[in-house]
Chains A and B, each alone.
Chain A
Amino acid sequence: MSKYIPNTDEQKRDMLSEIGVADINDLFCDIPEEIRVKGPLNLPKSLSDIELTKHMQMLSDKNSDTDHYTCFIGAGAYDHYIPAIIDHLISRQEFYTAYTPYQPEISQGTLQAIFEYQSMICLLTGMDVSNASLYDGASAVAEAVLLACRATGRTHVLAAKTLHPESREVLRTYTKFSGITVDEYGFLNGIADLSDLEARLSPDTAAVVIQNPNFFGIIEDLKEIAELAHKNKSLLIASCDPISLALLKPPGELGADIVVGEGQSLGNPLSFGGPYLGFFAASKQLMRKIPGRVVGETVDLSGKRGFVLTLQTREQHIRREKATSNICTNHSLNALAATIYLTAMGKNGLREVAELCAQKAHYAYSRLIETNKFSQVFSAPFFKEFAVKYRGDVHELTARLLEQKILAGYILEHDYTDMDNVLLVAVTEKRTKHEIDTLVERAVCV
């Protein structure tokens, strides 16, 4: 008997007789005999705690973790510093074992934390309203596009080729079945090609999607793109790295109508790709159309401040097929981690993190170029990630560095077939000068 099932056999017998049936099988009388499972399922037999821990440790040991390997891979997921308080606080059962805060009287903790999260996202992005978070950065892009199409009544969308390839893939999947056309505009010197963008704008273009810093780590000129989009009465959707927003002008100030992004960098571990969180913020005009949950402030019967889920009529459980989105969950615990992260780092800490990333990334870039084994790919300014071309086989390089416990970077040829031997290298505040120097030395010593 599993320790997670507390009733004893005797109690079960008592309950059966109370119900008035002889056997547990009598409770399954509605299930036709021919579809009953005969015998046990073909699954491994149950493991005790000790056996389970050993088995899981064995699997964990098969992976090369970033404590033992130096990580220079980014491309949408980053090895940033995570303050210890985050895991301690999100591990409090009142947070992690609670359901969605549908009963506000016993959910003020989750609700107030989300309210604080929404406030922080608005501060970073310069937008009026934020939701309580979505699944991840890529699905947030897709939801932003669906919103833009609903709000404008248009069905064409222009996405930058410098937008994360996985975001573009998710966007294609989401739009494929709903009559929305996604077209892509190109880039020059690693930044969005504005003349290509302008040429592709049509009266049916609902939104222009841009990522900043873009997939190559380069900073885009959001203001110019916003102007082009708005001239065409299209919305601007910007997908941003939240760490960069400590330094860069808030996209809201530059004309973005919807700002989304991957929030993993805010205190969430890499965890082989998830769970992360997608943040989602918009201008006031779009408030009643945004997808996902939203928390608002109100008062209780005695006039005391409290928080509730609000604007619920947008949601699937009320609007059913007329809902603004089918999204039901948020990534509450990840958003809580982000809230605690932003609290811990605060106004000055987040800026320090962003500056350290920028300094170290630029140091690594110059060192690699100095070796003559790597050459410049783009000359445009970047933030914490950059592309360099290896004079040799980049697959051989990354394999060799892996043996030396270095996760060297992301190979751009996967997504941009003409960019052979180009490596995308990310440098966070966690990388030391020594680690960067080691990467450079090992990379050139064949």
Chain B
Amino acid sequence: MKTETQTIFEKSRPGKKAYSLPECDVPKTPLSELIPGNFLRDTPPELPEVSEVDAVRHFTELSKWNYGVDSGFYPLGSCTMKYNPKINEEIVRMKGFTQIHPYQSGESVQGCLEVLYKTGEMLAEITGMDKFSLQPAAGAHGELCGLMIMKAWHESRNDTVRKKIIIPDSAHGTNPASAAVAGFDVVEVKSDENGWIDLNSLRETMSSEIAGLMLTNPNTLGLFDGNILEIADIVHEKGGLLYYDGANMNAIMGITRPGDMGFDIVHLNLHKTFSTPHGGGGPGSGPVGVVEKLVPFLPKPVIEYSGKSYYLDYERPLSIGRVKSFYGNFAVVLKAYAYILSMGPEGLRQASETAVLNANYILKKLKNDYLLPYDRVCMHEVVFSAMKQKEYGVTATDIAKRLLDFGYHPPTVYFPLIVKEALMIEPTETESKETLDQFISAMKQIAKEAENDPECLKSAPHNTVVSRLDEARAARKPVLNEMSGTNN
């Protein structure tokens, strides 16, 4: 095991190089004649100087301290860490996709435009929406974009008093944050004892000041809200719109569609449901789909098909405008497109069915070991609570850290906020029964350890490259780059 960590700066030695550039083949002019001296920097930025082998070894070493989906089981609730097909990585590296400038003329990028157009069409079919924009770069970006569309629609009808948005107490943190950036005030509604939205509370809250409701269904407890049609009626009757947070779309592909549930706006996370890799935090892609009446408000440009060729339509007077440069994270969309084509309609349905089956299997197998606050059939994820273990002084964090020793990525902890000491497990469909059984036995062993050897959990992890890190120290006196580093 590696004991010393060095940054690339610490490995730098003057005179080493890892690049190869051509000689200047045009007549050279002294730099100061091209650019006035007062604009030029006195010394070059002190970037590291290393050889190519040094660079390769350094980043290879760093990679070994990471844990990816290919390393093992990653049951991180709400994040849908499914396997990322390798063929998509090959496809995305085809020169006709990587080497295309976004400002090339339309005739020279017909293949790219076709990918975007057809992905939009397929996502519309999967969700029951009428049209998609692929511009948003991430889920939260899609939320912001969708909420702006909601606001623009109300304003286009001279309905300017709708300044509030309803969000359930179980929602993702991005929901209220996005609503605030879009200029809405947030009103919370409570969940009932089933984990569904409390209909009475919704009825009382819904008024002509409410722009709409943001909802994840299945919700963050992994439960499908069976009252969805009534919820939609309550919101629509008072002139509001329904926004679907697609974070949990992996539970329902080919089984039910947000459009049929009554939703007006949907965002999807291609990096969750549609298998594009997370990249250690991004890039993702958060397309937004809408029903017919909201199509004019989508960000521009919109990709259209004339019957002969694909083109970018900028003539959209009601559009909220751009939310991102160019046309979105094209290379991410490309992988999702390839994924949908390789799965086909039956494959997508089987993916959701299996994701739900795997989650229920874990629910059943662990419900005697961990507290199950909502004891009913779940969808693609199951939320336990570590309150039983808390009696021995063991927290959800301790359980998560102990799982690292067993070679697993832990579940999401402390979310949703309405479950104390939450452990949110999302196995996804790409995990086999064998993997689930091994994980289940690790979880059972940890439950026993909590009772018999709580110290072992509280000091976990024991087998990782670093042990628990002092987060308070990091936040109190932040050292955020090499230059302010401690050089220890």
Partner of A300, one of B17, B66, B277, B468: B468
Check A116–B475 contact: CB distance below 8 A.
no
B31 near A60 with CB under 8 A, answer no
CA distance A15 to B362 in the complex (A): 10
Contact B474 A308 (CB under 8 A): yes
Instruction: Collect the chain A residues with CB atoms within 8 Å of residue B464's CB.
Output: 105-106
Whole-angstrom CA separation of A425 from B367 in the bound complex: 65
Q: Are A97 and B278 in contact (CB under 8 A)?
A: yes
Q: Does B306 contact A (CB under 8 A)?
A: no
In the bound complex, residues from chain A placing their C-beta under 8 Å from that of B465 are: 105-106, 108
Is B344 within 8 A of A43, CB to CB? Answer: yes
Find chain A residues with CB under 8 A from B260 CB. 35, 37
Query: Known: A37-B255, A103-B404. Contact between A320 and B137, CB under 8 A?
Result: no
Residues of B within 8 A of A101 (CB): 280-281
B143 within 8 A of A: yes
Q: How far is the CA of A377 from the CA of B139 in the complex (A)?
A: 43
Most buried by A among B58, B96, B148: B96
Complex Cα distance, B377 from A26, in Å, reads 9
B183: contacting residue among A21, A177, A349, CB under 8 A:
A177
Across the interface, do B59 and A113 meet the contact criterion of CB distance under 8 Å? yes
User: In the complex the two chains form, what is the Cα distance from A71 to B341 in whole Å?
Assistant: 32
Binary B-proximity of A91-118 (CB < 8 A = 1, otherwise 0)? 1111111111101111111101101101
Q: Which chain B residues (1-60) contact chain A, with CB distance < 8 Å?
A: 3, 5, 7-9, 12, 16-19, 21-22, 24-29, 31, 34-36, 38-42, 44-50, 52, 55-56, 58-60
Contact A4 B351 (CB under 8 A): yes
Could you say which residues of chain B place their CB within 8 Å of the CB of A21?
Answer: 377
Task: Determine the distance from Cα of A377 to Cα of B344 in the docked complex, in whole angstroms.
Answer: 54
- Chain B residues within an 8 Å CB radius of A402: 105, 107-108
A250 touches B41 (CB 8 A): yes
The answer to whether the Cβ of A271 comes within 8 Å of any Cβ in the partner chain is yes
- For residue A24, CB closer than 8 A to chain B, the reply is yes
A window 68-110: CB within 8 A of B: 69, 71, 73, 75-77, 79, 81, 83, 85, 87-89, 91-101, 103-110
Expressed in whole angstroms, the Cα–Cα distance for A334 and B49 within the complex equals 21
B322 touches A169 (CB 8 A): yes
Bound Cα distance A432, B23 (Å):
10
On whether the beta carbons of B100 and A66 are closer than 8 Å, the reply is yes
| B65 contacts across to A, CB distance below 8 A | 94, 106-109, 112
Of the residues A66, A108, A272, A320, contact of B466 by C-beta under 8 Å? A108
Are B331 and A6 in touch, CB under 8 angstroms?
no
Query: Whole-angstrom distance from the CB of B355 to the nearest CB of chain A?
Result: 9
A12: chain B residues at CB < 8 Å are 354, 357
| Known A59-B114, A105-B468, A105-B469; contact A433-B25, beta-carbon cutoff 8 A | yes
A97 to chain B, nearest CB (A): 4
In the assembled complex, the CB of B222 is this many whole angstroms from the nearest CB of chain A, namely 11
Query: 1/0 contact trace for A315-330 toward B, CB 8 Å?
Result: 1111111110111111
Contacts of A352 in B (CB 8 A): 19, 21
| B265 at interface by CB-CB < 8 Å | no
- Asked whether B480 lies within 8 Å of A67 as measured between CB atoms, the reply is no
Cβ A108 vs Cβ B62 within 8 A = yes
Which residue of the partner chain, among B100, B281, B482, contacts A332 with CB atoms under 8 Å? B281
Please tell me which one of the listed residues B62, B350, B482 contacts residue A2 in the complex, with CB atoms under 8 A apart.
Answer: B350
A321 CA to B299 CA in the complex, in Å? 24
- In the assembled complex, B393 has its CB within 8 A of some CB on chain A: no
A318: nearest chain-B partner, CB-CB? B173
A interface size (C-beta, 8 A): 208
B122 and A94: CB pair below 8 A? no
- Interface SS, B side: loop
Q: CB distance B26 to A436 under 8 Å?
A: yes
The distance in angstroms between the C-alpha atoms of A248 and B43, with both chains bound, is 10
A347 and B44 form a contact (CB under 8 A) = yes
B439: Cβ under 8 A from any A Cβ: no
B281 with A20: CB separation less than 8 A? no
Choice from A167, A293, A344 contacting B325 with Cβ under 8 Å: A167
CA gap between A343 and B181 in the complex, in Å: 36
- B99–A67 touching, CB < 8 Å: yes
Tell me the complex Cα distance, A19–B484, Å: 55
Which residues in window 37-78 of A have CB below 8 A to B? 37, 40-49, 52-53, 55-67, 69, 71, 73, 75-77
Segment with Cβ contacts to A, from B67-75, B199-207, B236-244, B447-455: B67-75
Q: Give A383's nearest chain B residue, CB to CB.
A: B35
The minimal Cβ–Cβ distance linking B211 to chain A, given in whole angstroms, is 11
Taken together as a complex, chains A and B put the C-alpha atoms of A60 and B110 apart, in Å, by: 9
User: B68 contacts A170, CB within 8 Å?
Assistant: no
B56 touching A89, Cβ below 8 Å: yes
B229: contacting residue among A34, A323, A336, CB under 8 A: A34
Q: Which of A97, A107, A174, A293 has the most CB of B within 10 A?
A: A97
The distance from the CB of B168 to the nearest CB of chain A, in whole angstroms, is: 12
How far apart are A55's CB and chain B's nearest CB, in angstroms? 7
A413 to B475, CA, bound (A): 49
Q: How far is the CA of A173 from the CA of B299 in the complex (A)?
A: 9
Contact A2–B343 (Cβ < 8 Å): yes
Q: Are A43 and B348 in contact, with the CB atoms below 8 A?
A: yes
Q: Which of A120, A293, A302, A316 contacts B177 (CB 8 A)?
A: A316
Flag if A5 contacts B430 (CB, 8 Å). Answer: yes
From 320 to 367 in chain B, residues with beta carbon under 8 angstroms from any chain A beta carbon are 320-332, 338, 340-351, 353-354, 356-358, 360-361, 363-365
Contact residues in B for A93 (Cβ distance below 8 Å): 68-71
Whole-angstrom distance between the alpha carbons of A1 and B364 in the complex?
Answer: 25
Which residue of chain A has the shortest Cβ distance to B85 in the bound complex? A4
B197 at the interface (CB under 8 A from A): no
Residues of B within 8 A of A49 (CB): 87, 342
Q: Which residues of B contact A1 (CB under 8 A)?
A: 347, 350
- Identify 14 new A-B residue pairs, CB closer than 8 A, beyond the known A178-B181, A310-B480, A325-B177: A5-B430, A15-B358, A27-B377, A49-B342, A64-B109, A76-B325, A119-B481, A219-B35, A246-B44, A296-B475, A298-B474, A332-B279, A333-B281, A346-B16
- The 10 A-B residue pairs with the shortest CB-CB distance in the complex, in nearest-first order: A46-B344, A273-B326, A60-B96, A333-B279, A62-B111, A273-B102, A275-B283, A332-B281, A316-B177, A97-B68
What are 16 A-B residue pairs whose CB atoms fall within 8 Å in the complex?
A: A21-B377, A28-B255, A34-B229, A35-B257, A40-B346, A62-B110, A99-B74, A100-B278, A110-B62, A119-B481, A139-B324, A173-B320, A247-B40, A273-B330, A340-B55, A346-B18
